[in-house]
Structure formats: structure tokens, C-alpha cells
């Protein structure tokens, strides 16, 4: 019997341990962002927060196929990617609250969340800017003869900016070890991407540049896991850049402050039924995993992130001298050269 | 002591830095043929296409790739062909290169050198003639260098490559063929000016190609009996404030001369700072000489009307000294 490799379920040969880890990680991302939203409501986070609730499958499906020394460059909606790449949530939450002990000492916040120690080269406040940075990281990897992979995750809004064309072209011309993942949630900020995009969309554009490109349901973490595994294996074997368009849906507004008035409530409600966590839980239940085991993932994640939240709330502000640090060596403002 | 051109000096500096450090590499358009001005000539044959790397006409990608490659442990030298074209890559330079170290809390530095050939170059018109150095001095995180001679182009490019900050390195297109003596193999410190003449009556501060107009003016003034001090700033950010202050305290008069537009230019920054710090030592108002706020024209006589010349500098100095 041959199973359709893109159809999850009992007919497939599932790696239950791996999928349980995915389920657990997706809950940790969800709980982290719920805590971040709470911090926003309580005015502990004053800047913008871009939640990825509903898109956890992509963070997990992509990053679980990357090694710690592989590189990831992310978007302004990057909490999930950063956690999935292995960053410490305590340091991340401190960063969101602008506190000492944050991943960037409170100088980047949510939009620039980064942890270079796990290869996460930063979320970026400029749409599509991470595509060039990924191509550059991949170029450096190739120059140094390493077997690492550089990956960027960007939204569908990014495909209408120049760096999409320029970065993919660059990666293909130099046959770089780069994986480009479009987190296609259908909206570019508050505008329906389809209304602003000519032609058939992300994968077709990547294919036109010569990148092997596949379309995957990004809410089906089983399917995405497989697609990314294949792509990363091909890239690591020297096969050049690959492109994955992962369809998903953002279950909240563009930012924590966005009332999301531009989408029909029925559409959002229907999307909740396709939530990647619920979907994976169903797959696992169908495969015989006990409900209390799945419930424990949720409970543990909420407990963990509640503690992370309390820690960040209690953490001190960075010393004011940090405002002047890390600007530049030559002409450092602390040397009076300003 | 060796005589070489401004272009050869830069090529030699890059060659020696690439020999010294295997993580140094260059990327940009037309590098395979040695660069638009021949400033990479011979290097592709020595280092091959991986380290002297031709790029698509894709300035944003060149700059952005350099940022990603710098964050990943290499030291890219970015060729922008003309300073004007770097405007296609402003996000990558200003929002990414200049910000990454700070907004990621010092987790990484961005050691890139961005070579932006600047200035008027006969009949190249508005999109190939700009001097935009003042823009970059305004951006925290960037170092700005404008060498005026072969010896400086050699020593400052070496330092720029060794620097861990993003350095905007602006060579002047009219100076590529300028010959001069390069008398040692050491890097020159960034942020230090060079005194080209010592004098007691007036200080003339300049950089890049206008240094040569300034020196010609100084000679005229000297022949007329004035004692003129000439400072080549060389690095605009950080600029060598203390040594400029010391000079003005001695002479009591200052003219800042540059090719770029006067309004909002870096001459204004120097004039304001000197007026503030050296007010009591000044014997005359600080003067700026820069281009009028018009794009550069194509026809030679029109192009020449916006040039800051030795005659203009000398005339302004005479007025300040009531000569």
C-alpha cells in the first residue's frame, strides 16, 4: 500500500516521538505569545507586538529541521521562529518588556528579537530585508566551505518587494545553501495580499528564478516537516537554494493593537478550526496518543510561560549606559566623539 | 617609498589585506574586469571569482548580502560603482548594516567596507556626480572616510577593512589617476586628520578632491604673504575635532570647503561646532564653501559653475583676512 506522503493520518508511518515534540513546542510558542499579549494589555509592552498565533506549525516545521549552527533570519513576526530555533524564552520575554537580561539588553524588543547563540540572526522590522541577509549568510557559508544552511522566513507581503527578486536571484546565481520559506497568511499587514499581487504568487515567482519550489499547507506540521526535511537535505547535499510556500492564517490582528476589522468574523472563526495545534493533536489522537498527554503539553507550556512572564515583570530596567553601548567602535559616543 | 596612483594604492591595500586575512573578500558589479575604474585590476586573477566576486546589477542585494556575510564571520568589501547607486541600497546600509549591532544588543558586529566612488566626473550629469558624504555622517553606526591622496587611500582602506564597524569609504572619481608617494605599509588611523600646511593666519579645512583646490588656494595666499594652515579631514565621522579646534584657536579664522551641497552639508556641522567651542578665539565668522543646492549639470560650463575652486577659497580667505 502506498500512502500519499502529503496526507497525515493513521495510514502514514508517523514518528510519534517527533510529532509529540512538535506538539509540545507549538504549545510553548502559543503560550509565550499569549503571555506577550497579556503584557501588551497590561502596558508592560509599549511597542508593537506581532503575534504569530495560528502560524506555529511553520516555526516548528521549519526550525525542527535546522541545526543550531544553521542560520535563520526572520520577520517582525518572529517570536515563534526564535523559540523554535532554540532561544531561551526567559531572555526573550525580558527583551519584549525591555528589561536587563533580554536577548538584546532591551535594545531591540519584539520586532528585533534575536539570539545569535542559536543561529537566529534577528527578526527584522523591514519587510523582505531578511532575504538579502540570508543570501549573505549562505554566501559566507559557501565561501567558508561549511555544510550549514541559511534560512529565511518571510511573509507573503515580502514577495512584492525588490529583495525577493534580488535575493532569490543572488542565491540561485551563486547556488547558495539557502532555504526560503514564505509564511503565506494571505495578508500583507492589513491588506489582502492577493489584491496587491500580480500573477500566481510566491512559488511561481521562485520557480521563474529557477528555485525548486513547493506549496505546502503550513498548518499541517506533518506535511511541512517532510517538505522542509527534503529541502534541507537537498541544500546540504549541494543542490542550491530551495523555496517553500507554506499556506497559513494569522488568527489575530496584524499587531496586538490591530482590531482586525478587515476580515470577516466567519473567516476567522473557520480558520480557528484549522488551527495547526488542534490539527496535530487530532492526528496524534488518531494514532493512539492519550488525551491527558496532549493536555499536559498545553498545561506545562502555560505554566512555563507564566513563570517567564513573572520573571520579566520583576526584572530591572537596563542601566542607562546601555543606550550608548554597541553603536560603533570608531567614533563611539562614549568617547565624546559626538 | 613608492610612487603610485590613488587607484593602485587602494588595490595594493586590498591585495595585502586579502593576503593577510582569508575572510576578506570583495563583491560588486564589474569586478571581474577589474572594476569600473581599474581599482581591482589584477586581483581577480590572483584571488579568483569567489573572493573578487562579480555581482548582478543589484545594489540592494550586494549590500544586503554583505551584511548577512559580515554577520556570519566574513569581512566583505562592497563595491558600489558610484555613490549615487548606493541609494538603491539605502535600507541595507542604513537600516541593516548601521543598526544590527545596536538593535541586537552587541550580539554581532557588521565589519563591511562600502566603497562609494563620489563626486563630479566630467559630464557625468546628475546621477553620476553626487557627493553624499554628509548623509552618512548623520547615521549612528557608520564611519565615513573620504581620502584625497594615494598615501591616504592606501592606509585608510587598510584600516577600514580591519575596522569592525560598517565604513562608508568614498573615493573621488577625479582622483583615480592622481600619483603620489606611499611611504609605509601601515594602516592609517581612522578619525585623524592630516595637516598639509602649517600656518598662523587662517585655517582651511577640506576633504576629498577639494583638498587639492584648497592647497592651490593656500599657495596663492602664501605668495601674497598670508600664513595658511590646511587640514585634510580624511575621516568625516568621527572627525578630528580637537586638532581642528587647536588650529582655529591658533589662527582665529576658519573656512571649510567641500564639493558637496553647502546646505545641510558637513561644513555646517564643523562651522557650528567650531563657533560654539572656539567662539572667543574667532577673529572672523566661520565660512563655508560648498555647491549651490542644484543637481550637477551635464554641459562642462554648467558643471563648472557649481565647483568650489581654489580662486573662490582664496578670495574668501582674503576677505576674512582683509587682505
Does any CB of chain A come closer than 8 Å to the CB of residue B163? yes
CA distance B138 to B90: 13
Q: Mean pLDDT for chain B? A: 97
Does any CB of chain A come closer than 8 Å to the CB of residue B107? yes
Does any CB of chain B come closer than 8 Å to the CB of residue A328? yes
Name chain A contacts of B140, Cβ cutoff 8 Å: 327-328, 333
- Nearest neighbour of A108 by CB, restricted to B71, B105, B140: B105
For residue A284, is pLDDT > 60?
Answer: yes
Question: Strand, helix or coil at A184?
Answer: strand
For residue A7, is pLDDT > 80?
Answer: no
Nearest CA in chain B to A162: B60
Predicted confidence (pLDDT) per residue in B290-312, tens digit = 999 999 999 999 999 999 999 99
Residue bearing cell 502506498: A2
Taking the CA of residue B213 and the nearest CA in chain A, the distance in Å comes to 28
Per-residue confidence (pLDDT) for residue A335, from 0 to 100: 73
**Per-window interface: A 185-224 vs B, CB < 8 A:** none
For residues A280 and A12, the answer to whether their CB atoms sit within 8 Å is no
Name chain B contacts of A47, Cβ cutoff 8 Å: none
Confidence of residue A12 (pLDDT cuts 50, 70, 90): low
Q: Render A87-127 in DSSP notation, one character per residue.
A: --HHHHHHHHTT-TTSTTTTSS-GGG--BGGGTEEEEESST
Name the region of B234 (left: φ>0; alpha: ψ -120 to 50; beta: rest).
left
Predicted confidence (pLDDT) per residue in A134-161, tens digit = 999 999 999 999 999 999 999 999 999 9
Residue bearing cell 528579537: A113
Per-residue confidence (pLDDT) for residue A3, from 0 to 100: 42
Per-residue confidence (pLDDT) for residue A9, from 0 to 100: 46
Query: What's the complex ipTM?
Result: 0.95
Nearest CA in chain B to A140: B69
Residue from A328, A334, A337, A338 to probe the interface with B (highest B Cβ count within 10 Å): A328
Contact A150 B68 (CB under 8 A): yes
For residues B84 and B55, the answer to whether their CB atoms sit within 8 Å is no
Which residue, among A104, A56, A107, has the nearest Cα to A83 in the 3D structure? A56
For residue A10, is pLDDT > 50?
Answer: no
Per-residue confidence (pLDDT) for residue A13, from 0 to 100: 77
**Per-window interface: B 215-244 vs A, CB < 8 A:** 237-238, 241
Does any CB of chain B come closer than 8 Å to the CB of residue A62? no
A34 by Cβ neighbours in 10 Å (0-12 / 13-18 / 19+) ranks as: middle
CA distance B146 to B127: 19
**Per-window interface: A 92-151 vs B, CB < 8 A:** 102-108, 112, 114-117, 121-122, 124-126, 129, 131-141, 143-144, 150
For residues A138 and A171, the answer to whether their CB atoms sit within 8 Å is yes
Does any CB of chain B come closer than 8 Å to the CB of residue A321? no
Predicted confidence (pLDDT) per residue in A159-207, tens digit = 999 999 999 999 999 999 999 999 999 999 999 999 999 999 999 999 9
Which residue, among B249, B139, B149, B231, has the nearest Cα to B192 in the 3D structure? B231
For residues B12 and B21, the answer to whether their CB atoms sit within 8 Å is no
Q: Which residues of chain B have pLDDT under 50?
A: none
Residue B252 C-alpha cell reads as 582665529
Contact A108 B165 (CB under 8 A): no
For residues A118 and A86, the answer to whether their CB atoms sit within 8 Å is yes
In chain A, the percentage of residues whose pLDDT exceeds 90 is 94
Does any CB of chain B come closer than 8 Å to the CB of residue A327? yes
Amino acid at each position: 500500500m502506498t500512502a500519499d506522503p502529503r496526507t497525515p493520518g493513521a495510514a502514514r508511518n508517523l514518528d510519534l516521538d517527533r510529532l509529540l515534540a512538535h506538539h509540545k513546542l507549538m504549545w510553548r510558542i502559543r503560550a509565550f505569545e499569549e503571555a506577550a499579549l497579556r503584557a501588551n494589555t497590561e502596558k508592560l509592552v509599549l511597542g508593537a507586538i506581532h503575534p504569530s498565533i495560528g502560524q506555529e506549525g511553520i516555526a516548528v516545521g521549519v526550525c525542527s529541521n535546522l541545526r543550531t549552527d544553521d542560520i535563520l533570519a526572520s520577520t517582525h513576526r518572529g517570536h515563534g521562529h526564535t523559540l523554535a530555533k532554540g532561544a531561551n524564552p526567559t531572555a526573550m520575554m525580558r527583551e519584549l518588556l525591555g528589561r536587563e537580561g533580554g536577548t538584546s539588553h532591551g535594545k531591540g524588543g519584539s520586532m528585533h528579537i534575536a539570539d545569535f547563540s542559536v543561529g537566529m540572526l534577528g527578526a527584522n522590522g523591514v519587510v523582505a530585508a531578511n532575504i538579502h541577509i540570508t543570501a549573505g549568510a549562505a554566501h559566507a557559508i559557501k565561501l567558508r566551505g561549511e555544510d550549514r544552511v541559511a534560512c529565511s522566513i518571510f511573509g507573503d507581503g515580502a514577495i512584492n518587494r525588490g529583495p525577493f527578486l534580488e535575493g532569490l536571484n543572488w542565491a540561485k546565481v551563486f547556488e547558495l545553501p539557502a532555504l526560503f520559506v514564505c509564511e503565506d497568511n494571505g495578508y500583507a499587514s492589513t491588506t489582502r495580499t492577493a489584491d496587491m499581487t500580480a500573477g500566481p504568487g510566491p512559488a511561481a515567482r521562485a520557480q521563474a528564478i529557477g528555485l525548486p519550489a513547493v506549496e505546502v499547507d503550513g498548518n499541517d506540521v506533518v506535511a511541512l516537516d517532510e517538505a522542509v526535511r527534503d529541502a534541507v537535505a537537498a541544500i546540504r547535499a549541494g543542490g542550491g537554494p530551495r523555496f517553500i510556500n507554506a499556506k497559513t492564517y494569522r488568527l489575530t490582528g496584524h499587531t496586538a493593537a490591530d482590531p482586525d476589522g478587515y476580515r470577516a468574523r466567519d473567516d476567522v472563526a473557520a480558520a480557528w478550526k484549522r488551527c495547526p495545534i488542534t490539527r496535530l493533536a487530532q492526528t496524534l489522537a488518531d494514532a493512539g496518543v492519550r488525551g491527558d498527554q496532549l493536555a499536559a503539553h498545553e498545561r506545562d507550556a502555560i505554566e512555563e510561560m507564566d513563570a517567564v512572564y513573572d520573571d520579566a515583570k520583576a526584572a530591572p530596567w537596563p542601566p542607562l549606559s546601555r543606550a550608548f553601548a554597541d553603536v560603533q567602535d570608531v567614533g563611539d559616543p562614549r568617547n565624546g566623539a559626538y | 617609498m613608492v610612487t603610485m596612483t590613488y587607484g593602485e594604492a587602494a588595490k595594493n591595500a586590498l591585495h595585502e589585506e586579502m593576503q593577510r586575512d582569508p575572510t576578506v573578500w570583495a563583491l560588486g558589479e564589474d569586478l571581474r574586469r577589474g572594476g569600473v575604474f581599474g581599482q581591482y585590476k589584477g586581483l581577480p586573477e590572483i584571488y579568483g571569482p569567489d573572493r573578487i566576486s562579480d555581482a548582478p546589477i543589484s545594489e540592494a542585494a550586494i549590500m544586503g548580502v554583505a551584511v548577512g556575510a559580515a554577520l556570519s564571520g566574513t569581512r566583505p568589501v562592497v563595491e558600489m560603482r558610484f555613490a549615487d547607486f548606493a541609494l538603491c541600497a539605502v535600507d541595507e546600509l542604513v537600516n541593516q548594516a548601521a543598526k544590527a549591532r545596536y538593535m541586537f544588543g552587541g550580539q554581532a558586529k557588521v565589519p563591511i567596507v562600502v566603497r562609494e566612488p563620489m563626486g563630479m566626473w566630467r559630464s557625468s550629469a546628475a546621477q553620476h556626480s553626487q557627493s553624499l558624504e554628509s548623509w552618512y555622517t548623520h547615521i549612528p553606526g557608520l564611519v565615513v572616510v573620504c581620502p584625497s591622496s594615494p598615501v591616504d587611500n592606501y592606509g585608510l582602506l587598510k584600516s577600514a577593512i580591519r575596522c569592525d564597524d560598517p565604513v562608508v569609504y568614498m573615493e573621488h572619481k577625479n582622483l583615480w589617476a592622481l600619483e603620489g608617494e606611499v611611504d609605509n605599509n601601515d594602516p592609517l588611523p581612522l578619525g585623524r586628520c592630516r595637516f598639509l600646511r602649517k600656518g598662523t593666519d587662517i585655517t582651511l579645512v577640506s576633504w576629498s578632491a577639494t583638498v587639492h583646490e584648497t592647497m592651490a588656494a593656500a599657495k596663492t595666499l602664501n605668495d601674497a604673504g598670508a600664513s595658511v594652515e590646511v587640514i585634510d579631514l580624511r575621516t568625516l565621522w568621527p572627525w578630528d575635532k580637537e586638532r581642528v579646534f587647536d588650529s582655529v584657536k591658533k589662527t582665529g579664522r576658519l573656512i571649510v570647503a567641500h564639493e558637496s551641497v553647502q546646505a545641510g552639508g558637513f561644513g555646517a556641522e564643523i562651522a557650528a561646532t567650531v563657533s560654539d567651542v572656539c567662539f572667543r578665539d574667532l577673529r572672523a565668522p566661520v565660512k563655508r564653501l560648498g555647491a549651490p543646492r542644484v543637481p550637477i549639470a551635464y554641459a562642462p560650463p554648467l558643471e563648472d559653475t557649481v565647483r568650489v575652486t581654489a580662486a573662490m577659497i582664496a578670495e574668501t580667505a582674503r576677505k576674512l583676512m582683509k587682505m
